[in-house]
């Protein structure tokens, strides 16, 4: 009887050893695939960091390009939010002007100065809009005159407060009168 049990155990071992080897090979291949994916992901992320560093280097070169005459940098637009709403008393009626304004520049220093002095610039814009003649604003010449006044005043405020220049244009993206 003991011999019979030994035979049965010996017969079971070769089958389990072959199956065990197959399982071992599958596990090893799976581990190698996981390692390959991890290495690939690491290399991908490392190359993304390198391109970000290249972008930082490109930003530094843009600063150097700013000093080179003859090279034109792309325009940047700063939206003055929220919209400006000014009321006018015309006789017994109240009239309103609602306008959205954007400032165009090519200098990052001007963008930073506009963000820093935004309350003062908004105050100047509201003051200038309030001083306008409502009937004059209905004409194209009146709007052009207003743009020039706004641009000149904003340039003056930024020069006084931050000693920067570079506002190229004041743009009306909305101009509603009623």
Q: What does the pLDDT average to over 134-159?
A: 95
Residue 107 binned pLDDT confidence (cut-offs 50, 70, 90): very high
Q: What does the pLDDT average to over 104-131?
A: 94
Of 59 and 129, which is predicted with more confidence?
129
pLDDT of residue 61: 47
- Cα separation of 33 and 39, whole Å? 10
> What mean pLDDT value characterizes the chain?
83
pLDDT of residue 161: 93
Percent of all residues in the chain with a pLDDT value above 90, rounded to a whole number: 60
| Tens digits of residue pLDDT in 69-80 | 667 889 999 999
pLDDT of residue 82: 93
Conformational region of residue 95, where left means phi above 0, alpha means psi within -120 to 50, and beta covers everything else = beta
Residue 3 binned pLDDT confidence (cut-offs 50, 70, 90): low
Q: What does the pLDDT average to over 160-170?
A: 93
């Amino acid at each position: 009887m003991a011999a019979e049990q030994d035979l049965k155990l010996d017969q079971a071992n070769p089958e389990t050893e072959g199956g065990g080897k197959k399982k071992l090979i599958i596990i090893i291949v799976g581990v190698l695939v996981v390692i390959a994916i991890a290495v690939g992901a690491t290399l991908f992320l490392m190359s993304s960091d390198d391109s970000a560093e290249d972008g930082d280097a490109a930003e530094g070169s843009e600063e150097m390009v700013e000093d080179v005459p003859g090279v034109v940098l792309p325009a940047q637009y700063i939206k003055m939010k929220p919209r400006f709403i000014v009321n006018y008393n015309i006789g017994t009626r109240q009239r309103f002007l609602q306008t959205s304004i954007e400032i165009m520049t090519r200098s990052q220093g001007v963008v930073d100065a506009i963000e820093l002095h935004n309350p003062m610039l908004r105050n100047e814009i509201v003051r200038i809009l309030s001083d306008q003649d409502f009937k004059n604003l209905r004409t194209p010449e009146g709007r052009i005159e207003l743009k020039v006044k706004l641009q000149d005043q904003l340039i003056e405020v930024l020069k006084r407060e931050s000693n920067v220049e570079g506002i190229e244009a004041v743009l009306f993206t909305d101009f509603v009168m009623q």
